Amino acid sequence: MEEFIKQNLIKAKSFHPHFEKALNEMLLAGGKRFRPKLLLAVVKAYNPLLIDNAKYAAFAIELIHTYSLIHDDLPSMDNASLRRGHPTLHITYDEVTAILVGDALNTYAFEVLSKAPLHNDVKVELIKILSENAGPNGMVLGQAIDCYFENEKLNLDELKFLHLNKTGKLIAASLKMGAIIVNKNDLAEKLYDFGLKLGLLFQIQDDLLDLLDESKTGKSSGIDINKNTFVTLVGEKEAIEKADKVAKEIEKELNSFDENLKKELKTLLERYLYRHKN
C-alpha cells in the first residue's frame, strides 16, 4: 500500500512555493493505514487477484481519512500541533494551506476511485458508500457535533452517536467497500455493522490515548479536556471497562465469520483490540 501511495501522490505543479509539497506531506508522514487495510483484508479473503485493483479504493479511503485529520487539527477545531509524529500543516505552513490541502485530498479521493480498474457499477456503489459515510450524514456530521458541543456535556447515547459518525462510519465503510469489490453483497451489511462496533472501540481507545504523552502517540495529547469523550463523561476506569466489553463483542462476532475472513481480519485486528491496555 505504501508503494501505491507514493506512485499516486498528487501532482499540482505551479509557481506556488510549497503547495504540492504540502499536499502530500501528511500522506508521506505514515500512519496506521488501518482503514485501507480493512478493505484489503476483505478482498484478500475472497479474491486475492483483485488486491491491486482494490488499492485504488483503499487509497481513496486513506485520502478521506487524512483530509479529516488535517481539518481536525486546525486552530478552529482541535488546534493541534503534532500529527503522525510531524508538525501539523498549519504549523509548518499556515492555516489557509492546511484548509486547502484538506479540500484537495477530499476531492482527489473520488478522482482516484473513479480511475479504479473495476466495473463501473462497482465504482458507482463504492463512490456512494464512501460519500455517504464521509459526508453530512457521517464523518462530517460527527465532527460538527463534536465541535459545537465542545463545552456542553452530552449524555452517553449522544456521545455514542457522535463517535459512530465521526469515527465509526468510515471504518464501517472500509469493510463494506471491500465486500462490494469481491461481490459479497450479502456480507456487506454485516461487515458494516461490525465496522461500527470497531469504530466505537477505536474512539474509546483514542479517548484513553489522549491521556498519554505525545511521544507515545505521535499526535497532540491533552486536547480533549473540554470535549465530549468517554474519559470526560465516565472516567478512565469505566472507559477501559467499556472498551473491554466492546472488544469482547467484536471478538465474538469475528469468530462467527468464515475461516478466510476470520483469518485475515484477526491478523489485522490482534494488535488493536486491546491496545487500551498496552
What's the predicted TM-score (pTM) here?
0.94
Q: Which domain holds residue 92?
A: 2-8+16-277
Averaged pLDDT of the chain: 94
As beta bridge partners, residue 86 has: 83
State yes or no: pLDDT of 95 exceeds 60.
yes
pLDDT, tens only, 213-264: 555 556 665 666 778 999 999 999 999 999 999 999 999 999 999 999 999 9
* Dist CA 173 CA 129 (whole Å): 6
How many independent structural domains does the chain possess?
A: 1
What CATH number is attached to the domain comprising 183?
Answer: 1.10.600.10
| Residue 215, Cβ density class (10 Å: 0-12 exposed, 13-18 middle, ≥19 buried) | exposed
